[in-house]
Amino acid sequence: MSDAGATGGERPPRSRLADVAKLAGVSVTTVSRVLAGRGETTSVTRARIHEAAHTLGYEPGAERRGRPRSRGAFLIDLVMGRFHDPWTNEITAGARTAAARHGYDLVLTVERDTPGDDWPNRIRARSSAGVVLGLIRPTTEHMSILDGARIPVVLLEPPAEIRAGLTVVGATDWQGGFDAAAHLLGCGLRELVVVTDEPRYRFGRERIRGFLDAVNTIDPSVPVSIVSHPWADPMVDVWLANALVQGRQSPLGVFALTHYIASSVYAAARVAQLSIPRQVSVVGFDDPGEGRFAYPPLTTMHQPLRQMASLAVDLLAAAATGAPLPGTRIELPTSLVIRNSTAVQK
């Protein structure tokens, strides 16, 4: 009878710091320091400790007397490598609106490109309810720290392929590239250029693949050139102007993989004294809003950035109430916005 009572009603013993320390092969003091986000330890040791804590189900905020752990702070972190530009402004606006709707405050956290950047530890220390990673591919150590603290993560358009099981929100990049090519071919353009950047991120590769698939489907006789945009070149506009006109006859159809690249194509056209859209038709991507004020207004593939960020926050808010994250990629549809940078050739 006593065995039945033990298996049916008693809780398993709660893991202690000492248990984590034993599994990780370090001292209790080291475990305490790492889980509190204090002190200096190697990345390998930190990852081992967080992995041990996750394996044992250790809860840093649990009371010794078995009182249930309280909900963390009403915070959601938005982590990006930069803020305050057209793309990130749209993402921030969408995330902030959704967070407020769910009763959370949004924390803007910058991922610094330095070896000592400890943004996962800072997030864990403030007990955020969830994290949106914008244009970031987290490392194994990053995920170990956040997983160990049981903080859910949603990736927003990561720049590279990520391991299976993570939740990703993105756009229909392949379809966007396909629709861009179909529009330029529909305008009667029979010489096309794709301007990309280096390195070619996952979403850029998908846009190129969709563009080429459209050409091969609609008119495989149309030549397509792929030009890499040299960001670090101070003479980028001159370089790109030469690349656009070299060995080509206008009219020319150009697909710029991002809004920033489209701006450079406009500048290059001015340098080369090419008229948009009479001699060069341009289709951009992203559509953060500034494109409508370009001269001429930019035809572009609208990427629903605010909705993407809002959905990422919605998923985290649901996870905070116990709902599981999908663990797959979710795509929101792109759409073609036709303005005056493209025109039917006469």
| Nearest alpha carbon to residue 256 among 272, 273, 243, 271 | 243
17/161: higher pLDDT: 161
CATH number for position 103:
3.40.50.2300
Q: pLDDT grade, residue 94 (50/70/90)?
A: very high
Shared domain for 91 and 237, answered yes or no, is no
Domain shared by 199 and 180, yes or no: yes
In a domain, 69, yes or no: no
- Which pLDDT score is estimated for 8? 46
- Rounded CA separation 291/212 (Å): 24
In-domain check, residue 238: yes
Interval 293-341: pLDDT, tens: 999 999 999 999 999 999 999 999 999 988 999 999 999 999 999 999 9
Three-state DSSP state, 222: coil
Residue 134 falls inside a structural domain: yes
- Is there a single domain that holds both residue 314 and residue 298? no
* Range of 34-48, 150-164, 236-250 with top mean pLDDT: 150-164
- CA torsion through residues 339, 341, 344, 346, sign: positive
Q: Does 183 share its domain with 139?
A: no
Identify whether residues 217 and 162 lie together within a single domain.
no
Strand (E) or helix (H) holding 87: helix 86-101
Return the HEC string of 162-201.
CCCCCEEEEECHHHHHHHHHHHHHHCCCCCEEEEEECCCC
Instruction: State the Cα torsion 216-227-299-212 to the nearest 10°.
Output: 10
Predicted model pTM: 0.78
Residue 31 burial (C-beta neighbours within 10 Å; 0-12, 13-18, 19+): buried
**For residue 227, what are the domain limits?**
173-304
CA 322 vs CA 151, 155, 316, 318: distances in Å: 12, 19, 10, 7
146 and 239 together in one domain: no
Instruction: Look at the chain and report how many structural domains it folds into.
Output: 3
Could you tell me if residue 337 is inside a domain? no
- 164 and 310, same structural domain? yes
Residues 162 and 196 in one domain: no
Residue 211 shares a structural domain with residue 149: no
Residue 174 and residue 160: Cα distance in Å, rounded? 15
Same-domain status, 190 and 300: yes
Most confident of 91-105, 111-125, 231-245, 258-272: 91-105
What CATH number is associated with residue 9? 1.10.260
My answer on whether 266 and 312 are in the same domain is no
